[in-house]
Structure 1
Amino acid sequence: MRQNAHDAIRTQVMWNRLISVVEEQAQSLLRTAFGAVAREAGDLSAGVYDLNGAMLAQAVTGTPGHVNTMANAVVHFLERYPVETLKPGDVLVSNDPWMGTGHLFDFVVVTPAFYNGKAIGLFASTCHVIDVGGVGFSADATSIYEEGTLVPHMYLRREGQLNEDLLSVILANTRNPVEVRGDLMSLISANDTGVNRLVEMMEEFQIDGLDDLAAHILETSKAATQKAIREVPDGVYHYDLPLDGYESPITIKTELRVEGDQITIDLSGSSPASNYGINSPRTYSQAYVVFGLKAVIAPDVPNNAGSLGCFDLISEPGTCVDPVSPSPVTARHVIGQMLPDAVFGCLAQALPNRVQAESAGSIWVLAMASAHGHALPSELKDTSRFNVMNVAIGGIGGRPGKDGLNAMAFPSGVGSIPVEITESQCPLWFKRKRILRDSGGKGKYRGGHGQVIEVANREAAPFTISAATFDRLNNAAAGREGGEPGALGKAYLGTGPALKGKGIHLVPAGDSLVVELPGGGGFGHPDVKEQKNGD
């Protein structure tokens, strides 16, 4: 075998091994996390970085909002703690929304990896913790100061010693201290797993650094992405995406510019930042914009600093897609997870018949709690205090050649939390959870159906839905290429009264919360002979 062929095979094997390293890192987090949203729904991510903070590889397990924001987050750590100042056993942490993953509920943890006394790379992981204080998981705050505890870039562990002072502050400001401490320890453990597996890889392949492998990964990924971009016709494309908003409707204005092997997305002119916590920080907006572009243009190219660098984002500070501190941002997914549909609206003009219809988009977070503080003490006597989270998911848009998927989170990719998990944590029970028939838009390939969920309290007491962050109650997922829109979402009490899409709602004793998730839009003109009506 020629030497260059041998080297190419060896490089590919090392690349595959690096993927397995970060996947084991993510699985370690998934299997040890305490909070249900991380452990059951997989709301997390993990990755390995070079010494400059460039992401080399990400785990398959995880969400675009986490992975793609972390692609930029590690650089912020290195600006404050240069690699040469770090030592074995160090761990850094922050949940700064503008330099992390977009809201306070996600802690980013960074661990340097050393081999033979020399720094060789960095591991980062993140997951959503259930509570960080403040008003809780709610869009009702009007500033970041009300939303919870912000931890600037700090040491979480220094040369093997935990920063118990920092942990004490975090845990004193959460309603769920056991789960939050457990999740932070799981993040540390996941990174340690990555470090250990990377050292084993170095020993096995008898290399003392990642520089050569990193250069190959980034250069190859960049070249493959540029090649894919060149297949998109040059031009300027526009699309306006209407959303329900909170105090007023929102419009996401999108301009896509394709020039040779580079793409620029411009969100300038989008609606001003909301007074409430549905704003999407630039880092989170960029994560989902780029995800939407890669999903259509270069889905098979690895997600790393090389491929992500082929896409530029222009945004206007002070808008809902680029809010400035101290704007509230807890429910940033309401806007951020809609951005791929905004991007698709432009791409569909450049690539006819190749882009799926719009989806339900942002997940409906069911952050439910006892009504303490929202009802009279006499109504809550001898009842339980609880604070739990579940996830409701709508349908995906119809695709070229395929129906949309039912009750599947796109673009976030998070999974459902089994109802049994939530029911074991509190007195709530799920009266029903099933596919909502005929909610997907009609088309040659129909949109995915949403689902209907009904929740009640086993105790004779009211409870709150403390994070009603529901969208597409007024703006349905649009069809594509002649397909029809999906069904609008609905939220109401079991006794009949409708609920607003945003805010904190009290569910009276003996009543129930009912949500009907929106369906995805249909793709292609409806055709009776080819229409599929299955669930």
Structure 2
Amino acid sequence: MFNDDPITLEIIQNSLRSISDEMFYTIAKTAMSPIIYEVLDMATAITDPKGELASAGAGIPAFVGALDKSVKAIINKFKPEGINDGDIFITNDPYYGGVTHLNDVVLIKPVFMEGELLAWAVNIAHWNDVSGKSPGSMSVDATEIYQEGIRIPAVKLFVNDEPILSVFDMLTANSRMPEFLKGDLWAQISALRLGGKRILSLVNKYGRSSYVHAVESYLELGQAMAEKAIKALPDGKYEIDEAQDDGSHLSVAIEVSGSKLVIDLTQAPIQSPLPINLSKDGTMLACQMALMGLIGDRQLANGGCFRVLDVKTRSGSIYDVQAPGPCGIYFETMIRLNDLIWRCLAEKVTDTLPSGNFSSICATIMGGKHPDTGQHYSIIEPEIGGWGAGDGFDGANAMFCAMHGDTFNCPAEIAETRYGVTVGQVALNDEDAGAGEYRGGKGVVIDYVIRSDNSFLTCAYTRNKIAPWGLNKGEDGSVNRVEVIRTNGEIEVHAMASEVTLDTDDIVRVITANGAGFGDPKKRKTAALVDDINNGYVSLEYAKAKYGFDATHGGSYE
């Protein structure tokens, strides 16, 4: 018999979320790498025995949605007879359940009670270096996945709670930063073990039947919330075709019918020889993030939410890559697709959805010999930028894009201590862009001063030529880019580049885009515009040109 008291079910459901969060902060407190313990480039989750997402901790939305897919890949490969108490599995390969790219390493632990599989504890984190042709294991010019690092094709890392040392040896031997790798790996292992213990404690307290019923009812709640969000959209077909920075075009066709959402991506370009491809699961993930944006409740993310979603892809396309296509810069295609879906809906549903944002991970990878220790260092930074305005609100300043969610920018003090660079400035982007009745949010400008010769920069930025899109007469935003300022004053501008040579006192200047505006700029209230000018968000010249604002006589509109 199970207890179907709603209070008990709610306690179990909230306990699962708490367990996921506790696993998350276990990694954050024990990991070696700032990309994990400061930026929080990771995620944790619990699934049911079939791999359905039952709860998710804090972390990157793009990672949370990857974890259930990784579990299902393990189930499919090993079958029930190959999965035992005391096992821990590991994968990073998008062709073997890794979903994203080789830097993102997934660890998975089955949770058994009296010989019966009850749940899976799972986590993912971005490792600094997993081999490959370029330091940091990311390059924008890789032409096959073999160049991107060591592939871990969903294998066992532990058996009978004992580590398989040969697997550990292969991992550390294939990293330029083995000590960081070992520290991060053991942090993830510790989180899985903790999660398993907490799940068993929860089941012992409330009983197996009540636990299973609570998970099932929570999935049903997720489905009901998703159906409600889709029903709020007008039924019909939505289509869009958008030019990209590289001259290509991406298109999407969306059909809303009652509580069902169909996203058709079969007209996508063929898979690229460059590392911008998405696995089919990665494409599903981008679509799921858009759906969760409509639902609007980040903590509700579970497998039930996605039962209403049907995503159609074409094998061999950029959204359904086939081996050995490279995937290292998958994240830019993922955020481009997520933004495209959002724009497709927003241009029809302008009363609730905002205009375009900087929508890029703006991945910034720098490295070389640490000037203090002589050891190899590697900076791996996603960047924050400006979000778009909506009906009744200005865009947010300096926030991560939709793919990164609950993460943080790395503090200047940590960057200087751990990375061997000097942070010259962290400021809001003062470029004039994103005018509207409600203005777009501001991006950032960050200067990294290099402290050792023969260092390097790799970067992967989109929205470098095609600016964030305005709505209802709102102005477009600005664009993302990196400037390398040489000691002789020369300035090089980059967006997609691999291993640009840097020397002592060169400055790497990150510039992220300002979001787009919403509504006619001439309708912006005088007081709000004066505040913008006083806060340095817009210049007087821009206010006059875009808003028709006259600073004389106390400030007025022409």
**Matched position secondary structure for 1:498:** strand
Deviation of the 1:323 alpha carbon: 2.0
Equivalent position of 2:552 in the other structure: none
Equivalent position of 1:377 in the other structure: none
| Residue from 262, 275, 278 that aligns with 2:276 | 278
Deviation of the 1:159 alpha carbon: 0.7
CA contact (8 A) 1:232 1:350 kept: no
**Matched position secondary structure for 1:340:** helix
CA contact (8 A) 2:389 2:440 kept: yes
Following the alignment from structure 2 to structure 1, what is the Cα–Cα distance between the partners of residues 179 and 376?
Answer: 15
Name the CA shift for 1:498/1:276 in 2 (closer, same or farther; >3 Å): same
Matching of residue 417 in structure 1 with residue 410 in structure 2: yes
Following the alignment from structure 2 to structure 1, what is the Cα–Cα distance between the partners of residues 297 and 419?
Answer: 41
Deviation of the 1:383 alpha carbon: 6.7
Equivalent position of 1:479 in the other structure: 470
Structure 1: 5+ residue stretches without partners: 373-379
Following the alignment from structure 1 to structure 2, what is the Cα–Cα distance between the partners of residues 47 and 211?
Answer: 16
Q: Which amino acid aligns with 2:395?
A: G
Matching of residue 435 in structure 1 with residue 428 in structure 2: yes
Name the CA shift for 1:340/1:205 in 2 (closer, same or farther; >3 Å): same
Q: Which amino acid aligns with 2:147?
A: E
The superposition leaves residues 279-334 of structure 1 with CA deviations (integer Å, 9 ceiling, x where unpaired) of 22222222122211221245468211111121111122233222221111111111
Q: Which amino acid aligns with 1:239?
A: I
The superposition leaves residues 488-527 of structure 1 with CA deviations (integer Å, 9 ceiling, x where unpaired) of 2232222243323112222344322222111111122222
- State TM-score, norm by structure 2: 0.88
CA contact (8 A) 1:384 1:427 kept: no
Q: Which amino acid aligns with 1:66?
A: F
Deviation of the 1:439 alpha carbon: 5.1
Following the alignment from structure 1 to structure 2, what is the Cα–Cα distance between the partners of residues 196 and 356?
Answer: 43
Which moves more between the two structures, 212-221 or 154-163? 212-221
Following the alignment from structure 2 to structure 1, what is the Cα–Cα distance between the partners of residues 29 and 130?
Answer: 22
Deviation of the 1:426 alpha carbon: 3.6
Which moves more between the two structures, 255-264 or 485-494? 485-494
Deviation of the 1:242 alpha carbon: 2.7
Structure-to-structure mapping, 1:22-421, within 5 angstroms: 22-59=20-57, 61-98=58-95, 99-134=97-132, 135=134, 136-207=137-208, 210-244=211-245, 248-297=246-295, 299=297, 302-370=300-368, 385-411=376-402, 412-413=404-405, 414-421=407-414
Following the alignment from structure 1 to structure 2, what is the Cα–Cα distance between the partners of residues 396 and 62?
Answer: 19
How many residue pairs match? The answer is 519
Following the alignment from structure 1 to structure 2, what is the Cα–Cα distance between the partners of residues 301 and 384?
Answer: 40
**Matched position secondary structure for 1:210:** helix
Deviation of the 1:57 alpha carbon: 0.9
CA contact (8 A) 2:91 2:107 kept: yes
Deviation of the 1:208 alpha carbon: 5.5
Deviation of the 1:267 alpha carbon: 1.8
The superposition leaves residues 356-415 of structure 1 with CA deviations (integer Å, 9 ceiling, x where unpaired) of 11111122122112289xxxxxxx9x9764322233222111133221111111212232
**Matched position secondary structure for 1:280:** coil
CA contact (8 A) 1:133 1:173 kept: yes
Following the alignment from structure 1 to structure 2, what is the Cα–Cα distance between the partners of residues 147 and 370?
Answer: 18
Deviation of the 1:209 alpha carbon: 6.7
| Residue from 19, 22, 25 that aligns with 1:21 | 19
**Matched position secondary structure for 2:446:** strand
Following the alignment from structure 1 to structure 2, what is the Cα–Cα distance between the partners of residues 387 and 146?
Answer: 18
Following the alignment from structure 1 to structure 2, what is the Cα–Cα distance between the partners of residues 5 and 211?
Answer: 10
**Matched position secondary structure for 1:46:** strand
CA contact (8 A) 2:225 2:295 kept: no
Name the CA shift for 1:238/1:421 in 2 (closer, same or farther; >3 Å): same
Deviation of the 1:186 alpha carbon: 1.3
Q: Which amino acid aligns with 2:14?
A: N
**Matched position secondary structure for 1:38:** helix
Following the alignment from structure 1 to structure 2, what is the Cα–Cα distance between the partners of residues 528 and 30?
Answer: 43
Equivalent position of 2:551 in the other structure: none
CA contact (8 A) 1:365 1:391 kept: yes
Name the CA shift for 1:84/1:217 in 2 (closer, same or farther; >3 Å): farther
Name the CA shift for 1:439/1:361 in 2 (closer, same or farther; >3 Å): farther
Matching of residue 503 in structure 1 with residue 497 in structure 2: yes
Which moves more between the two structures, 208-217 or 351-360? 208-217
**Matched position secondary structure for 2:141:** coil
Q: Which amino acid aligns with 2:53?
A: M
Deviation of the 1:194 alpha carbon: 0.9
Q: Which amino acid aligns with 2:25?
A: Q
Which moves more between the two structures, 104-113 or 65-74? 65-74
Deviation of the 1:269 alpha carbon: 2.1
Equivalent position of 1:464 in the other structure: 456
**Matched position secondary structure for 1:386:** strand
Following the alignment from structure 1 to structure 2, what is the Cα–Cα distance between the partners of residues 108 and 474?
Answer: 34
Q: Which amino acid aligns with 1:475?
A: I
Equivalent position of 2:524 in the other structure: 528
Equivalent position of 1:517 in the other structure: 512
Following the alignment from structure 2 to structure 1, what is the Cα–Cα distance between the partners of residues 391 and 425?
Answer: 32
**Matched position secondary structure for 1:165:** helix
**Matched position secondary structure for 2:192:** helix
Q: How much is the aligned-residue C-alpha RMSD, in angstroms?
A: 2.3
Which moves more between the two structures, 312-321 or 512-521? 312-321
CA contact (8 A) 1:58 1:304 kept: yes
Following the alignment from structure 1 to structure 2, what is the Cα–Cα distance between the partners of residues 199 and 384?
Answer: 43
Following the alignment from structure 1 to structure 2, what is the Cα–Cα distance between the partners of residues 19 and 334?
Answer: 29
Q: What is the identity percentage for the equivalent residue pairs of Structure 1 and Structure 2?
A: 26
CA contact (8 A) 2:442 2:513 kept: yes
Deviation of the 1:5 alpha carbon: 11
Structure 2: 5+ residue stretches without partners: 538-558
Deviation of the 1:142 alpha carbon: 0.8
Q: Which amino acid aligns with 1:480?
A: L
Q: Which amino acid aligns with 2:24?
A: A
- State TM-score, norm by structure 1: 0.91
Q: Which amino acid aligns with 1:513?
A: V
Name the CA shift for 1:528/1:80 in 2 (closer, same or farther; >3 Å): closer
CA contact (8 A) 1:429 1:457 kept: yes
**Matched position secondary structure for 1:405:** coil
Name the CA shift for 1:431/1:25 in 2 (closer, same or farther; >3 Å): same
